[in-house]
Amino acid sequence: MVRCSDHSLYTGWTNNLKKRIEKHNSGNGAKYTRNKLPVQLVYYEKFSTKIEAMRREYRIKKLSKVEKEELIKMKERICEMNLIESFQVNHLKLKPGLYVSRKDQIGSETVTTFDIRMTTPNEEPVMGTDGIHAIEHLGATFLRNDDDVKKKTVYFGPMGCRTGFYLIMAGDLESKDIVDKVKEMFEIILNFNEEIPGANAKECGNFSDMNLKMAKYYSQKYYDQVIGKIKKSQMVYP
């Protein structure tokens, strides 16, 4: 969408955004914009095919002026947002390890988020959902029942990119403070041969997507490469 000199909005599609804006402002663009120059780009979306772009153009054209302005405001808010800490880590250099992802202050208390990175991002295949799901159930059950950390454990769950897990704990902590407990957690997973806790329709929203064998495979790999004998370099982000 472009905003015209009379503050009206014009919606179109193109395969070259920069050239299309230049064409509008040269007076050779759409008939609607020729007497309303200059135009300013205020909103755009990207699509992989022309058909998708044209369908979205049609839907936006059906919106009222107020609805279009809301769409523009939403885009502006997103563009103004700062990158969160995890997106500022150089994933091209990141290797499996146990890292402090971030620390947050909640009132007078500090909460530490750990990055349990199990595979090399963008190089190794990501972990399958069934293996991740089994690790999540077993790991969370262990942490919530362990006398040393059950009162400190806030959350344990997988990353959206499926290359590892986040562990959130109460306290101003460093990786070295939890190495032994994370090691113990993976040892529990590696030696577990019973029914996975919560692996039923009553207690889990996707109970059939669990695979203990794959959970052990991913855990063994992480144990051998990282947590079994962790190096200092595996506890500091690159």
State how far the Cα of 236 lies from the Cα of 238, in Å rounded to an integer.
Answer: 6
φ/ψ of residue 97, rounded to 5? 180, -170
User: Are 104 and 48 contained in the same domain?
Assistant: no
User: Are 105 and 208 contained in the same domain?
Assistant: yes
What pLDDT does 221 receive? 98
Q: What is the dihedral of CA 178, 183, 186, 192, to 10 degrees?
A: -120
User: Are 104 and 34 contained in the same domain?
Assistant: no
pLDDT at 33 over 90: yes
User: Left, alpha or beta for 27 (phi > 0: left; psi -120 to 50: alpha)?
Assistant: left
Number of domains in the chain: 2
The verdict on residue 27 lying in a domain is yes
In 81-156, which ranges are continuous DSSP H helix? 129-145
User: Are 75 and 143 contained in the same domain?
Assistant: no
- Nearest alpha-carbon partner for 60 in 2, 102, 145: 2
Q: Count CB neighbours of 206 within 10 A.
A: 10
The verdict on residue 130 lying in a domain is yes
User: Are 36 and 55 contained in the same domain?
Assistant: yes
- 96 prior amide bond cis, ω within 30: no
The verdict on residue 69 lying in a domain is yes
User: Are 116 and 225 contained in the same domain?
Assistant: yes
Last residue of a domain, one of 34, 49, 80: 80
Element housing 156 (H / E): strand 153-158
* Contact predicate 210/134, CB 8 Å: yes
Last residue of a domain, one of 56, 80, 104: 80
Last residue of a domain, one of 61, 80, 99: 80
Cα angle 99-102-104, degrees, rounded to a multiple of 5: 145
The domain in which residue 19 lies consists of 2-80
The verdict on residue 198 lying in a domain is yes
- Nearest alpha-carbon partner for 19 in 9, 5, 33, 29: 29
User: Are 197 and 129 contained in the same domain?
Assistant: yes
Task: Identify the three-state secondary structure at position 155.
Answer: strand
The verdict on residue 85 lying in a domain is no
The verdict on residue 112 lying in a domain is yes
φ/ψ of residue 68, rounded to 5? -65, -40
How would you label 91-110 residue by residue, b for 16+ Cβ within 10 Å and e otherwise?
A: eeebebbbbbbbeeeeeeee
What are 81-128's pLDDT values in tens digits? 998 888 999 999 999 999 999 999 999 999 999 999 999 999 999 999
* Contact predicate 103/112, CB 8 Å: yes
User: Are 164 and 117 contained in the same domain?
Assistant: yes
User: Are 35 and 99 contained in the same domain?
Assistant: no
State how far the Cα of 90 lies from the Cα of 121, in Å rounded to an integer.
Answer: 10
User: Are 42 and 74 contained in the same domain?
Assistant: yes
As beta bridge partners, residue 99 has 115
User: Are 119 and 162 contained in the same domain?
Assistant: yes
CATH of the domain at 198: 3.30.1360.80
* Contact predicate 94/115, CB 8 Å: no
What pLDDT does 19 receive? 96
What are 36-92's pLDDT values in tens digits? 999 999 999 999 999 999 999 999 999 999 999 999 999 999 988 998 888 999 999
The verdict on residue 100 lying in a domain is yes
Residue count of the chain: 238
The verdict on residue 38 lying in a domain is yes
* Contact predicate 157/165, CB 8 Å: yes
CATH of the domain at 59: 3.40.1440.10
What are 177-222's pLDDT values in tens digits? 999 999 999 999 999 999 999 999 999 999 999 999 999 999 999 9
State how far the Cα of 210 lies from the Cα of 139, in Å rounded to an integer.
Answer: 13
What pLDDT does 83 receive? 87
User: Are 47 and 144 contained in the same domain?
Assistant: no
